[in-house]
Amino acid sequence: MKITVNKIDLTIPEQHKSLSLLNYLRDVLGLTGTKYGCGQGLCGACTVHLDGQAVRACQTSIEEIDGQAVTTIEGLSVNGLHPLQKIWIKNAVPQCGYCQAGQLMSASALLKENSQPSTAEIRNAMSGNLCRCGTYPKIEAAINEVVRGG
């Protein structure tokens, strides 16, 4: 079986087919930007894009994604400065930062699907991503700033 991770084509060895996407990314590929949070798909820390859609890597098995493309936080931008990342830095959005890769991946999937979301649509799209530090107002403001062309 084959998958593409951050635009690199990979063949999955038999011994890795039973892994979750999260474990494959972190433990096999060393892409540690995707975080383990709850392990149950509830917190959003492990959010990646699968064929452009935000998914929970902890709940996605390698076996079920044959032929699909995965994008992690490391692959969100060629130079690491996606417009969301620039605004996140400018506005000092994160506190501890643990959830931020998942937050950015969810936000970027939203903006790819809807470049002009309303505040309600932003809140709805981001509602599955938990932040223990409570930076929700900063996250929402940063997404709105990108929407406004900031």
Per-residue pLDDT of the chain (150 residues; tens, 9 = 90+): 999 999 999 999 999 999 999 999 999 999 999 999 999 999 999 999 999 999 999 999 999 999 999 999 999 998 878 999 999 999 999 999 999 999 999 999 999 999 999 999 999 999 999 999 999 999 999 999 999 987
Domain harbouring 102, CATH code: 1.10.150.120
How many independent structural domains does the chain possess? 2
pLDDT at 125: 96
Same domain, 68 and 88: no
**Residue where one domain finishes, among candidates 72, 91, 116:** 72
Same domain, 7 and 63: yes
Same domain, 6 and 36: yes
Same domain, 39 and 101: no
Tokens representing residue 94 in the block:
């994160």
Cβ atoms 77, 85 nearer than 8 A: yes
**Residue where one domain finishes, among candidates 72, 98, 128:** 72
pLDDT at 28: 97
Same domain, 114 and 62: no
pTM to 2 decimals? 0.94
pLDDT at 79: 83
Domain that holds residue 102: 83-149
Residue 21, H or E segment: helix 21-23
Tokens representing residue 81 in the block:
């400065």
| Residue at 78 is within a domain | no
